[in-house]
């Protein structure tokens, strides 16, 4: 994993969220070119800014760095909802997931 992965991952997740670099920059409290400077390779976020970026994108740092997760924000939402489910509901959800992943 390298700096390019971080830049690309931010770009992909931002696009999936449906926001422009400009809008995301302002939402994070920066000038309009902040995210563009990260995407273009001119800068990298500090650790604290990276955590804000993850929060804005709706993912944990672990989900951000897991390249095998194509939809980390959706998976994060699913996990958050599953936390409050009963064992019976979790079993039913798992059964549905098993059926959906069989090919």
Write down the residue that tokens 């992909």 correspond to: 12
For the chain, report the end-to-end CA distance as a whole number of angstroms: 31
The pLDDT of residue 103 is 59
Global pTM value: 0.82
Q: What is the pLDDT of residue 101?
A: 87
CATH code (residue 8): 1.10.260.40
Report pLDDT for 102.
Answer: 83
pLDDT at 1: 64
Reference 7, options 39, 46, 31; nearest CA is 39
Q: Which of 22, 81, 26, 74 is nearest to 52 (CA)?
A: 26
Encode pLDDT of 46-55 as tens digits.
999 999 999 9
| Alpha-carbon gap, residue 99 to 103, rounded angstroms | 9
Query: Residue ranges of the chain with pLDDT lower than 50?
Result: none
The pLDDT, as a whole number, for residue 77 is: 92
- Domain count along the chain: 1
């Amino acid at each position: 994993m390298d700096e390019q992965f971080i830049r690309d991952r931010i770009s992909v997740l931002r696009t999936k969220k449906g926001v422009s670099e400009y809008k995301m920059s302002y939402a994070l409290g920066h000038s309009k070119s902040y995210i563009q400077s990260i995407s273009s390779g001119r800068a990298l976020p500090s650790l604290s800014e990276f955590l804000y970026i993850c929060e804005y994108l709706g993912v944990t740092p672990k989900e951000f760095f897991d390249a095998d997760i194509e939809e980390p924000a959706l998976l994060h939402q699913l996990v958050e909802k599953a936390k409050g489910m009963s064992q019976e509901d979790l079993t039913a959800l798992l059964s549905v997931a098993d059926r959906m992943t069989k090919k």
